[in-house]
Structure 1
Amino acid sequence: MTPPPQANSQRKALVLFSGGQDSTACLAWALDRFAQVETLGFDYGQRHRVELDCRLQVRAAMRAQFPHWAAKLGDDHLLDLSLLGQISDTALTEARAIEMQANGLPNTFVPGRNLLFLSFAATLAYRRGASVLVGGMCETDYSGYPDCRDNTLKSLQVALSLGLDTPMTVETPLMFLTKAQTWALSAQLGGAALNDLIVEHTHTCYLGDRSHRHAWGYGCGTCPACELRARGHDEFLASGSAA
């Protein structure tokens, strides 16, 4: 369980920040709780590499529009994990059709991705004096990725803390939220201004499409990531939480 905000007043967090809706909600969540927050992105040869540009735009917009968070928002880091793309055979790292596989997982699943991300993040956090890793993993509205499950992340938290010989907390504030509830969370944290920022600047589309603008943001509108984001946005608006 996450300690109350006042208990985190001296802690430093590192947010795994892709520039998408979920990681932006997590960044706002962390800025609302921790004394200092840094961000970390990964270049692993992803097909939707445009997200690497969007993440910088999101950070700049958050600094400009939320001055009470600006002082807490520290350095950004980008790690080259191109080796992951080289050893992966997925629709997220190659130009191929998105489809379900015989094992029941979509071929957008990059094996070991979150395990590697958090391991590298923990290494950086250790050097930067951060004791909290924040990620947007979720097992409610998701594609069934096994490395997004709560048990996976809890186990990894134990392994990282033991391996570093220092407590390393892995926080996943979206773990049990639907996508509609994620929209509601960002509205709670930053109001309509934050959700407007998410619509305009974040990127989710697996195909890297920034040419089509929808009510929920930019994307092809047909890939699983776009469909999930669009459905969540519709449900959020229908719930009246946006009012």
Structure 2
Amino acid sequence: MTTKTTPTGGGALVLHSGGQDSAVCLAWALDRFETVETVGFDYGQRHEVEMTARMAVREALLDAFPRWRDRLGQDHRVDLSGYGAIAESALTADREIEWRDGSLPSTFVPGRNLVFFTVAGAIAWRRGLTTLVGGMCETDYSGYPDCRRDTLDATQTMLRLGLDMPLGIETPLMHLDKAETWALADAIGGERLVELIRTETHSCYRGDRSHLHAWGYGCGDCPACDLREKGWARWAQGQADT
């Protein structure tokens, strides 16, 4: 089952990494805004394959949903490799991916979303776009403090003041777990969108594109894969029960 909404005026800039969450957000934005652009950040991430996946997702969305073709506009790729070197983590350096009790996981890149939204805000100001869309959530996440809605509300206020424009930050997945994220994809684009996200996106921290699981490509044991495997299982079970 798919839903259709009446598009709103103005335009949106989607932080599109090539992963499951940002792909759902891109579809969500295309279903709601007359104009949608995307931005991706190369910050020296080990799973650089996501930078290739993000373009494949854009093309696949247009092939599967021609009604969005006139809405999807320019893509922006930003080199933030210098920042990634400063904010070193297990995502940007050859370090073990681990999660110690009482501390943030080694995959935490300090200030990543703050930097992303600041740069995206500058692009939005230049392009005349009034909404930034990100796939952050605080329901089943890794505890990153810059994924919390309180953090993004403060970031939104900062951008509105600093850019002197009514810029909004939308986070449609903020209060959804991964099972509910699959359900949202199904509601927006049905089986076509679910399959597209399963096979075209990339969220695995290790950049593994050699193993296709029921829930998508990945190594199967990093934190990102673990979240998606469990979310898919809950969503699939719910589908079976209906």
CA shift for structure 1 position 89: 2.4
User: What 5-or-longer segments of structure 1 have no aligned partner?
Assistant: none
Can you list the C-alpha shifts for 1:154-182, whole angstroms capped at 9, x where unaligned? 11101100111110000000000000000
Name the aligned partner's letter for residue 184 of structure 2: L
Unaligned 5+ segments in structure 2 are: none
Contact 1:184 1:242 in 2 (8 A): no
- The answer for the alignment partner of 1:194 in structure 2 is 193
Quick check: 1:140–1:177 contact (8 Å CA) kept in 2?
A: yes
Shift of 1:241: 7.5
Deviations 1:68-122 (A, max 9, x none): 1111010111000001221122100012211124651101000000000000000
For residues 25 and 242 of structure 1, the distance between their equivalents in structure 2, rounded to whole angstroms, comes to 24
The aligned counterpart of 1:115 is 114
Aligned to 1:82: 81
CA distance in 2, matches of 1:44, 1:60: 23
Q: Distance in 2 between matches of 1:12 and 1:178?
A: 27
Equivalence for 1:25: 24
Give the equivalent residue in structure 2 for 1:46.
45
Map 1:94-113 onto structure 2 (within 5 A). 94-101=93-100, 104-113=103-112
Q: Give the aligned partner of residue 223 of structure 1.
A: 222
Scaled by the length of structure 2, what TM-score is found?
0.95
Deviations 1:183-228 (A, max 9, x none): 0000000001001001110000000000111011110000000000
The runs of at least 4 consecutive aligned structure 1 residues that moved more than 4 Å come to: none
**Residue 144 (structure 1) aligns with:** 143
Question: How far, CA to CA, are the matches of 2:119 and 2:21 in structure 1?
Answer: 20
The residue type equivalent to 1:78 in the other structure is R
Contact 1:236 1:242 in 2 (8 A): no
Give the letter for the 1:104 counterpart. S
CA distance in 2, matches of 1:153, 1:86: 24
Q: Please report how far the alpha carbon of residue 140 of structure 1 lies from its aligned counterpart in structure 2 after TM superposition.
A: 0.2
Percent of pairs with identical residues: 58
Partner Cα separation in structure 1 for residue 51 and residue 112 of structure 2: 16
Instruction: Work out whether residues 192 and 242 of structure 1, in 8 Å CA contact, stay in contact via their aligned partners in 2.
Output: no
**TM value normalised by structure 1:** 0.95
Which residue identity lines up with residue 144 of structure 1 in the other structure? Answer: G
What SS is found at the alignment partner of 1:187? Answer: helix
